[in-house]
Structure 1
Amino acid sequence: MPMTVEIHKARILIVDDQAANVQLLEQLLAEAGYTQVSSTMKPQEVCALHRKHPYDLILLDLQMPEMDGFQVMEGLKTNVTDAYLPVIVLTAQPGHKLRALLAGAKDFISKPFDLVEVKTRIYNMLEVRLLYQKLADYNRLLEATVAERTAELRESEARYRSLTELASDWYWEQDEDGHFTKVSGPVLEMLGLQVEPLRGEADPATLSGWNETERDTLRATIVQRQPFLDLVFHRTLADGSLQSFQVSGEPMFNSSSRFVGYRGIGVELTAKP
């Protein structure tokens, strides 16, 4: 929808205790193409009306009996649903302009009205208001999208952990220096490594019998920071029987694409006799 069309659909409230001023502004806005214009001559009704019909613009006279425009603006500030105060003040007193702006008004229109000035200031104000709303809507959409993606990621991670637990006999992680930070199963023995404090003294029997060529292939892949899938390793036990293991792993990177380590899973293809 073109911006001009959206601006002409803006909700506008005229607040003035002088019927002639209200009629003049209503006629001017109608001729300019605005289709949702309402008015009141009772300033004490403005806050309730704004809560019921959130206005994109309020044309507010400053000098009114019972409740002046400054008091109306203070009341409008209590609207917790919108921190933006969409007010243009109408005043014949030059000294009131600065005070009105300091009180939160976004612009002012001098009396007696210059019709070109009135139309220009109203249009410009509504254009800014529309852009402000679009930005707020975009931020809300962005927050909702981030929350949705975060929830999806957590769900995916939960499924991954569940599948890992079901599909593997062990899990391992290394930091960027190659130190094991999480280990379950015979990973260290397969790599021929002994790392403290994750393990105590190595049992020589667990470090022997591995196929060194296969282990060298795994270590070289990790050094090159490459992923690997379903690599098979063999170990010959002291009684001559053969064990087979299958391992998969991937490099890990942080949000800045810096390498931070490896993680992987594995299964034993043949159980010990």
Structure 2
Amino acid sequence: MVLPTDILNANILIVDDQEANVMLLEQMLREAGYGCITSTMDPHTVSALHRDHHYDLILLDLQMPEMDGFEVMENLKKLEIDGYVPILVLTAQPGHKLRALASGAKDFVAKPFDLIEVKTRIHNMLEVRLLYKQLDHLNQQLEQTVLERTAELRESEARFRRLTELSSDWYWEQDEHGHFTNVYGPVLEMLSTPQADSLPGQTTQTPTARWNETERAELAANIAARRPFLNFIYSRIHTDGAQQYFQVSGEPKFDAIGRFTGYRGVGRDVTEIMLDIAAPNAA
């Protein structure tokens, strides 16, 4: 939103080789409440002035000796990276209006001046210009915010992964078809099911290890039914004859409209814990 005070505090440059026109425009603007007004009768100085002060509006006469308004506009274009040159041309030649607009002017005022028309066009151009600057500033802020949030998300993701790896022996993610998309640790050996496939370079369960098929079937049923499960215990007899126990937790993932997108979870070897629990009972 552009406030009336913002418009009256806008930075304005008057460029005209006729002193009478400069004085008339200055007086009109000051009486209307504008406070930041600069003027020059030398068109050669316009580019340097604009480079130093970044005017919100330039009132530019087209008919000037040595360097006319069209040449001034061409030089100003080189300074405006965003391509927006805030120029209101002043001309007594009706045939110059279309050429001026094609050259980059945003509006024009015919000479001799109608002061009410001049004030209205100046006000409207400044309002548009200041809105444009506000939008550009907001876009820059938004871009910076997006960059900051993206960096925060990446840092959070990395932190989560580190914590997951520290607190578990393996971590996995599956897509909606049951294919493993992201794994850490011996996931395929521990969780290989009819719904899962292998990743290149990974091995599936040891052929000679004997799993408790009832427990494995229950785990597979949970995943197939898209049910969450917490600290599910299942076991196997290793190739060396040792009993092994594993604990796994998983949850289904859904998108914003409730569509199933896969599974994720963590697991660990809890053999020592389970054997310690079983020892007193065996005694």
- Secondary structure of the residue aligned to 1:79 is coil
Match of 2:252 in 1: 251
Q: Does 1:208 align with 2:211?
A: yes
Deviations 1:91-121, CA, capped at 9 Å, x for gaps? 0011111110000000001100001100000
Q: Which amino acid aligns with 1:208?
A: W
Shift of the 172–16 alpha-carbon distance from structure 1 to 2, 3 Å rule, reads same
Q: Does 1:160 align with 2:160?
A: yes
Say if 1:61 and 1:89, in contact at 8 Å, map to a contact too: yes
Number of aligned residues: 270
Deviations 1:166-212, CA, capped at 9 Å, x for gaps? 221112232211123455326554565474566667545434235x3
Q: Indicate the larger mover: 215-224 or 192-201.
A: 192-201
Say if 2:88 and 2:108, in contact at 8 Å, map to a contact too: yes
Deviations 1:212-247, CA, capped at 9 Å, x for gaps? 35x45544443344544x423132537996543222
- Match runs of 1:115-264 below 5 Å: 115-183=115-183, 184-185=185-186, 188-190=189-191, 192-193=193-194, 195=197, 203-209=206-212, 212=214, 215-216=216-217, 218-228=219-229, 230-235=230-235, 237=237, 243-252=244-253, 258-264=259-265
Say if 1:253 and 1:261, in contact at 8 Å, map to a contact too: yes
Say if 1:60 and 1:90, in contact at 8 Å, map to a contact too: yes
Q: Does 1:79 align with 2:82?
A: no
Deviations 1:67-113, CA, capped at 9 Å, x for gaps? 11000000000014442110000000111111100000000011000
Scaled by the length of structure 2, what TM-score is found?
0.83
- Secondary structure of the residue aligned to 1:164 is helix
Question: Matches of 2:6 and 2:228 in 1, distance apart?
Answer: 53
Shift of the 50–221 alpha-carbon distance from structure 1 to 2, 3 Å rule, reads farther
Match of 2:279 in 1: none
Shift of the 201–246 alpha-carbon distance from structure 1 to 2, 3 Å rule, reads closer
* Structure 2 unaligned blocks of 5 or more: 276-283
- Secondary structure of the residue aligned to 1:14 is strand
The alpha carbon displacement at 1:139 in A equals 1.1
Question: Matches of 2:69 and 2:104 in 1, distance apart?
Answer: 11
Matched residues, percent identical?
Answer: 59
* Structure 1 unaligned blocks of 5 or more: none
- Secondary structure of the residue aligned to 1:261 is strand
What is the root-mean-square deviation in Å for CA atoms of aligned residues? 2.9
Q: Does 1:267 align with 2:268?
A: yes
Q: Which amino acid aligns with 1:264?
A: G
Question: Matches of 1:21 and 1:197 in 2, distance apart?
Answer: 79
Shift of the 82–149 alpha-carbon distance from structure 1 to 2, 3 Å rule, reads same
Question: Matches of 2:26 and 2:190 in 1, distance apart?
Answer: 86
Shift of the 22–161 alpha-carbon distance from structure 1 to 2, 3 Å rule, reads same
- Secondary structure of the residue aligned to 2:146 is helix
Match of 2:49 in 1: 49
- Secondary structure of the residue aligned to 2:209 is helix
- Secondary structure of the residue aligned to 2:60 is strand
Say if 1:56 and 1:129, in contact at 8 Å, map to a contact too: yes
The alpha carbon displacement at 1:263 in A equals 2.3
Shift of the 174–85 alpha-carbon distance from structure 1 to 2, 3 Å rule, reads same
